[in-house]
């Protein structure tokens, strides 16, 4: 009887301690963060040579798992196609989508979901075979051309919108899956291929004859990509959002994967002290411990390091993804 009441008490305590939103609770109980990622997009999430997922989206999952669960390895990756992703999130199959998903009003309001922030600023671009079409220099030169597009993305609509606004005509040929779309374009089924600029860079980086292709200068859309969560868990939302800011703040303050442990002990910079948990309880207000950001930064490095490791090899410039004080749009909210 006595033993039973103690265990009951322990159970009540545990329940009280773990009482956060349903998603965060489930993650802690499971001990694993379930991350919906792209099936294979170089730079964002693609299996590397050893078969492990790597990329900027994957690194975000690792940072989040390190912050919440203490280890960057406690992630299960669920590869999702463009069609599957929202249903997988809504049904609870994944805890979040870190799957280069564009933040727009409809997705933010009608899907029962919410975006944690912007993890990558992208935009829709066009690539053509320069050997076949040497005279195509601008998008207007593509009038009446056929364009390969992947279904289930914002791309199809942007293409139609741009054509309408600029009185151009494109013939979209729509495929399922980015690989099928790229293959059709390379086979010459279409005159051009359109997708996010980063996706084009990723495709070209894998082609031996990349010099034959030309990326047109126009970017026809804003594609702010970011982590998408269910709307039922404000605590998890706060952690997801501030993990982005923490990694960007780390870059701004010069905190790196290599020096984060040392700076935590020695830094006199008040911002670094708050970030590393030396002086502030940002972590505790998030329902985590003081070391949450240190763990995240030691796992994957700061935002600049993540970018350089994953996106730079594609030959893609930092552009809008640079920090605000270096001409970019990345602006971490202040830690207090």
Partner 1 sequence: MTITRARWRGWLAQAALLLVLGGLLWAGVANLVHNLHSRAITVGFAYLGEEAGFDISETLVAYDATSSYAAAFGVGLLNTLAVSAVAIVAASGLGLALGVARLASNGLLRLLATIYVETVRNVPLILQLLLWYGMLTELLPTVADAWTFGPAYLSRRGLTLPWPAPHAGWSAGALGVLLALVLGGGWAAWAARVERRGGRRLPRLVPIAALLVLLPAGLWALWGAPVAISVPRLASFDFEGGKTVSPEFTALAFGLSVYTAAFIAEIVRGGIAAVPRGQVDAAQALGMDGAQRLRFVVLPQALRVIVPPLTSQYLNLVKNSSLAVVIGYPDLVSVSNTTLNQTGQAIEAIALMMVVYLALSLAIAGLMNAYNRRVRLVER
Q: Kindly list the residues in this chain that would bind partner 1 in the complex (CB under 8 A).
A: 82-83, 86-87, 90, 106-107, 110-112, 132-133, 135, 142, 144-146, 148, 151-154, 156-157, 159-161, 163-164, 170-177, 180, 184, 187-189, 191, 230-232
Smallest gap from Cβ 144 to partner 1, in A, equals 6
For CA atoms 185, 216, 213, 308, give the dihedral sign.
Answer: negative
For CA atoms 12, 16, 18, 21, give the dihedral sign.
Answer: positive
Nearest CA among 43, 41, 38, 40 for reference residue 314: 43
Q: Using CB atoms within 10 A of its CB, is residue 51 exposed (0-12), middle (13-18) or buried (19+)?
A: exposed
Nearest CA among 89, 65, 91, 70 for reference residue 240: 65
Nearest CA among 148, 51, 41, 141 for reference residue 101: 41
Q: Which three-class secondary structure state does DSSP give residue 306? A: helix
What is the Cα–Cα distance from 69 to 75, expressed in whole angstroms? 9
Nearest CA among 241, 229, 223 for reference residue 63: 241
Our CB check for partner 1 shows the closer of 112 and 234 to be 112
Smallest gap from Cβ 87 to partner 1, in A, equals 5
Beta-bridged to residue 38, according to DSSP, are 80
Smallest gap from Cβ 178 to partner 1, in A, equals 13
Our CB check for partner 1 shows the closer of 83 and 206 to be 83
Our CB check for partner 1 shows the closer of 232 and 256 to be 232
Residue 314 in contact with residue 43, Cβ under 8 Å? yes
Our CB check for partner 1 shows the closer of 164 and 326 to be 164
Smallest gap from Cβ 219 to partner 1, in A, equals 19
Our CB check for partner 1 shows the closer of 154 and 302 to be 154
Smallest gap from Cβ 231 to partner 1, in A, equals 6
Q: Residue 173: CB partners within 8 Å, gap ≥ 6?
A: 146, 147, 148, 149, 184, 189, 190
Our CB check for partner 1 shows the closer of 74 and 230 to be 230
Smallest gap from Cβ 321 to partner 1, in A, equals 25
Smallest gap from Cβ 148 to partner 1, in A, equals 8
What is the Cα–Cα distance from 288 to 47, expressed in whole angstroms? 30
Our CB check for partner 1 shows the closer of 128 and 263 to be 128
């Amino acid at each position: 009887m006595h033993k039973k009441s103690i265990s009951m008490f322990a159970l009540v305590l545990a329940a009280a301690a773990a009482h956060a939103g349903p998603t965060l609770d489930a993650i802690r109980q499971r001990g694993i963060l379930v991350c919906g990622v792209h099936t294979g997009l170089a730079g964002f999430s693609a299996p590397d040579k050893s078969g492990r997922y790597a990329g900027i989206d994957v690194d975000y999952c690792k940072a989040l798992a390190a912050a919440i669960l203490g280890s960057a390895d406690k992630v299960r990756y669920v590869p999702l196609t463009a069609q599957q992703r929202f249903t997988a999130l809504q049904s609870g199959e994944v805890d979040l989508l870190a799957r280069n998903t564009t933040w727009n009003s409809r997705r933010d309001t009608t899907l029962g979901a919410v975006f944690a922030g912007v993890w990558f600023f992208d935009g829709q671009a066009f690539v053509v075979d320069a050997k076949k079409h040497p005279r195509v220099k601008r998008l207007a030169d593509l009038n009446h051309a056929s364009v390969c597009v992947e279904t289930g993305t914002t791309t199809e609509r942007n293409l139609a919108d741009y054509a309408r606004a600029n009185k151009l005509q494109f013939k979209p040929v729509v495929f399922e899956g980015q690989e099928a779309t790229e293959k059709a374009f390379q086979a010459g089924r279409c005159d051009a291929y359109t997708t996010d600029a980063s996706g084009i860079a990723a495709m070209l980086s894998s082609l031996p004859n990349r010099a034959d292709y030309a990326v047109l200068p126009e970017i026809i859309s804003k594609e702010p990509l970011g982590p998408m969560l269910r709307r039922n868990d404000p605590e998890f939302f706060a952690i997801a959002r501030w993990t982005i800011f923490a990694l960007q703040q780390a870059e701004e303050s010069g905190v790196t994967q290599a020096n984060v442990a040392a700076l935590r002990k020695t830094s006199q910079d008040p911002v670094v002290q708050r970030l590393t948990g030396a002086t502030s309880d940002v972590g505790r207000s998030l329902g985590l411990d003081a070391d949450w950001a240190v763990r995240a930064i030691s796992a994957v490095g700061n935002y600049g390091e993540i970018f350089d490791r994953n996106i730079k090899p594609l030959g893609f410039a930092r552009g809008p993804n640079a920090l605000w004080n270096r001409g970019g749009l990345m602006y971490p909210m202040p830690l207090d």
